Structure 1
């Protein structure tokens, strides 16, 4: 992953999202130790406090858990927590934006649904 320092998204959020992606992709498994704040800081040339903030964000969401003196580990429910969060926050937000834009452009409901179906089919063809 490459951090986007020009993004409006804070670096610690980018770190947290990268770790979430690693969990979703199966690169980090339940009860597996994740990178320490110092390893992340070294990997991305960032302040260890920034890396710690990203780790703590995931710990607050119960995606990671702390073992005193040992570091942070992936929780057994991490994948489900991430999926639910992304469905309930990210995906719903994107849908809301698409619906609002379709209203501004006077796109009918059936037209919008057809567009979504076409995009889904196109995605299936690429896999």
Structure 2
């Protein structure tokens, strides 16, 4: 995990996304303890409230849960929930606009699928 953050987006969102990435990538698994807000504050060198805002959003979304006096942990099913959220966001941000553009260009579904296959075949996975 890199401690560098950028100025392009709110810091609390970047911290939230990095924790979510660790869950999706299975670096953090169900019921694993996540780093404390104090550790995250030290690691990222940001305000405690900034870290807490990102972490609390994950709690509100049912991705993390708190054990009073012990810490925060990854909720059961968190990875599946995050993947579903990301699939929907991907569809909204990329698939829908791509289909609209393909329709404007008169591309058939087969042509669109072929373009995707060609592009994926040319990229190392």
Shorter-chain TM-score tier: 0.7 to 0.9
Q: Deviations over 1:75-123 (max 9, x none)?
A: 111110110100112343221232344456x251344322212123234
Greater relative contact order (Cα < 8 A, sep 6+): 2
SS of corresponding position for 2:33: coil
TM-score, length-normalised on structure 2? 0.85
| Conservation of the 8 A alpha-carbon contact between 1:37 and 1:49 | no
1:69 counterpart residue number = 69
TM-score, normalisation: structure 1 = 0.84
Could you tell me which runs of 5 or more consecutive residues in structure 1 were left unpaired when the two chains were aligned: none
C-alpha RMSD over aligned residues: 1.8
SS in 1 for 2:69: coil
2:13 is aligned with 1:13: yes
For these two proteins, the number of residue pairs brought into alignment is 122
Matches within 5 A, 1:15-54: 15-54=15-54
Distance 2:121 2:90 in 1: 22
Structure 1 range deviating more: 111-120 or 47-56: 111-120
Partner of 1:108: 107
Match of 1:4 in 2: 6
The alignment partner of 1:113 has SS state of: helix
Indicate how the Cα distance of structure 1 residues 39 and 79 shifts in structure 2: closer, same or farther if over 3 A, else same. same
